[in-house]
C-alpha cells in the first residue's frame, strides 16, 4: 500500500538534473585532484555556514619541519664552533696565522648566529611571514659562507652547504608561504 503524495513530509522525490543545469541547492564543486586548501583553512562544507567547533589541529608541512630541524642543528653546531674559537683565542692567542682578535670576532658571530637560529626555529610553529623570511636569510648566509669556504679549499663548508640549502629551500617553498600566512586564532 502506498501513501498519497500529500502526506510525504519531505515533498515529492527530486529527479536528478541533467548535466550543466543548476542544482536546487548550491553545492560545492569538488576541487581538481592535486589542488590543496591553504594550510590552516578548512575546506568548504556546503551551502550552510559551518557549525562552530573546536579548532582543527593543523600539521606543519614536511619541508617546513625539515627547515626548522636544520635551524636547530645549525644553532647547535654554531654554539660548538663559537665556544671552540673563543677558547682557542683565550688559550693560545694566535693560531695558524689567525690573530686572537679574529678568533674572538668569528666566535662571537658564530654564537650570535646560533641564538638567531634557535629563536627562528622556535618561532616556526607560531610565527608569521617574518619568521619565514628570517629563516631564509639565515639559510642563505650559511649557504654563502659554505660556498666561500669550499672555494678557498676548506673542507669545513660541507655541513653548512647541506644545512643552508635545506633551510633556504624549506623556507622559500609555496607550502612554507601558506604555512606562515595561515589564519591564527
pLDDT at 21 over 70: no
CA 8, 11, 17, 21: dihedral to nearest 10 degrees? Answer: -170
Q: How far apart are CA 70 and CA 163, in angstroms?
A: 6
Is the pLDDT at 99 greater than 90, yes or no? no
Quick one: pLDDT at residue 184? 80
Residue 143 has pLDDT above 90, yes or no: yes
pTM check: above 0.85: no
% pLDDT > 90, the chain: 49
Q: How big is the chain, counted in residues? A: 185
Measure the CA–CA gap between 37 and 43, rounded to whole angstroms: 6
Residues 55-88 have pLDDT tens digits of 555 789 999 999 999 999 999 999 999 999 899 8
Residues 6+ apart with CB under 8 A from 80: none
Average pLDDT estimate for 142-171 = 91
Amino acid at each position: 500500500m502506498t501513501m498519497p503524495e500529500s502526506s510525504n513530509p519531505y515533498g515529492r522525490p527530486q529527479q536528478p538534473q541533467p548535466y550543466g543545469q543548476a542544482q536546487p541547492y548550491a553545492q560545492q564543486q569538488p576541487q581538481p585532484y592535486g589542488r590543496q586548501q591553504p594550510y590552516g583553512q578548512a575546506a568548504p562544507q556546503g551551502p550552510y555556514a559551518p557549525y562552530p567547533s573546536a579548532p582543527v589541529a593543523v600539521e606543519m608541512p614536511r619541508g617546513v619541519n625539515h627547515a626548522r630541524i636544520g635551524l636547530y642543528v645549525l644553532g647547535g653546531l654554531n654554539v660548538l664552533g663559537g665556544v671552540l674559537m673563543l677558547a682557542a683565542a683565550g688559550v693560545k692567542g694566535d693560531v695558524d696565522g689567525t690573530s686572537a682578535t679574529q678568533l674572538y670576532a668569528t666566535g662571537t658571530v658564530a654564537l650570535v648566529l646560533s641564538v638567531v637560529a634557535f629563536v627562528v626555529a622556535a618561532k616556526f610553529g607560531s610565527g608569521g611571514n617574518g619568521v619565514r623570511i628570517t629563516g631564509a636569510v639565515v639559510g642563505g648566509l650559511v649557504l654563502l659562507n659554505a660556498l666561500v669556504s669550499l672555494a678557498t679549499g676548506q673542507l669545513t663548508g660541507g655541513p653548512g652547504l647541506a644545512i643552508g640549502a635545506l633551510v633556504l629551500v624549506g623556507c622559500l617553498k609555496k607550502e612554507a608561504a601558506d604555512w606562515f600566512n595561515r589564519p591564527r586564532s
